[in-house]
């Protein structure tokens, strides 16, 4: 199980608008062949500077990424400080539907010397199809992971649903997605449950 809380404020600085995306995962994952580890994973923060024009139906941005080793168990994180780059593209469709993708790369620069280094690429295709004006939507947002150090790859597929609602000046987005693995290399989960909570503040 993977529960992610994501905070996405939009700010303007030096004439550029940018999207700050902070993620704190709460995970349950196999620790040994007979046991599981549960707790917080590594904290990730991205800052994608938006280079698309204001009001464009297709928005995109690129910026730095930082990973802090906050995992409460070895199985839940890399034990390393990591830095990298993230790119995002978002296509707004009629009726409130969205198609987007997030591509990231990260590598370690400090941390526990006893833990292996990192060189990780991820891609998250994200489709949200609005169901009328109810705020409910069908979704798929699996994270494809390519561990270039250990030669481990994971490509899951998912179909789920979510709900968007407005609470005061905060847009709250809740997602539930069962995921199955359609391709993998190395020891990887065959199925997962993804729960997402996204908070976005309007300015």
State pLDDT tens for residues 57-92: 788 889 999 999 999 999 899 999 999 999 988 888
pLDDT digits (tens, 9 = 90+) for 97-110: 889 999 999 999 99
Contacts of 186 (CB under 8 A, 6+ apart): 147, 150, 151, 152, 153
pLDDT of residue 6: 57
* Phi, psi values for residue 168, rounded to 5°: 60, -120
pLDDT digits (tens, 9 = 90+) for 13-66: 555 677 788 888 888 887 777 888 889 999 999 888 888 777 777 888 899 999
pLDDT digits (tens, 9 = 90+) for 102-137: 999 999 999 999 999 999 999 999 999 999 888 899
Domain total for the chain? 1
- Residues in a beta bridge with 96: none
pLDDT of residue 8: 55
Write out 133-195 in H/E/C secondary structure: CCCEEEEECCCEEEECCCCEEEEEEECEEEEEEEECCEEEEEEEEEEEEEEEECCCCCEEEEE
Per-residue pLDDT for 144 more than 90? yes
* Residues 125, 130: Cα–Cα separation, whole Å: 16
Task: Find the domain containing 146 and state its range.
Answer: 2-201
pLDDT of residue 72: 92
pLDDT of residue 125: 92
Q: What is the CATH number of the domain that holds 155?
A: 2.40.160
CB atoms within 10 A of CB 30: 12
Looking at per-residue confidence, does 43 or 188 come out higher? 43
């Amino acid at each position: 199980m993977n529960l992610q809380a994501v905070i996405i404020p939009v700010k303007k600085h030096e004439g550029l608008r940018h999207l700050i995306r902070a993620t704190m995962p709460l995970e349950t994952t196999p620790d040994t062949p007979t046991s599981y580890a549960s707790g917080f994973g590594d904290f990730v923060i991205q800052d994608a500077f938006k280079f698309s024009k204001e009001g464009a139906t297709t928005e995109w941005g690129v910026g730095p990424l930082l990973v802090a080793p906050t995992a409460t168990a070895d199985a839940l994180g890399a034990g390393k400080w990591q830095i990298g780059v993230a790119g995002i593209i978002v296509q707004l469709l009629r009726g409130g539907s969205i198609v987007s993708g997030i591509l990231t790369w990260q590598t370690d620069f400090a941390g526990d010397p006893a833990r292996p280094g990192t060189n990780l690429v991820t891609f998250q295709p994200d489709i949200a199809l609005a169901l009328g004006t109810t705020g409910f939507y069908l979704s798929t947002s699996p994270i494809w992971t390519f561990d270039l150090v250990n030669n481990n790859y994971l490509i899951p597929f998912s179909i789920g649903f979510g709900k968007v609602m407005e609470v005061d000046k905060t847009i709250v987005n809740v997602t539930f997605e069962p995921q199955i693995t359609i391709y993998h290399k190395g020891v990887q989960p065959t199925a997962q449950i993804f729960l997402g909570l996204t908070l976005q503040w309007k300015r």
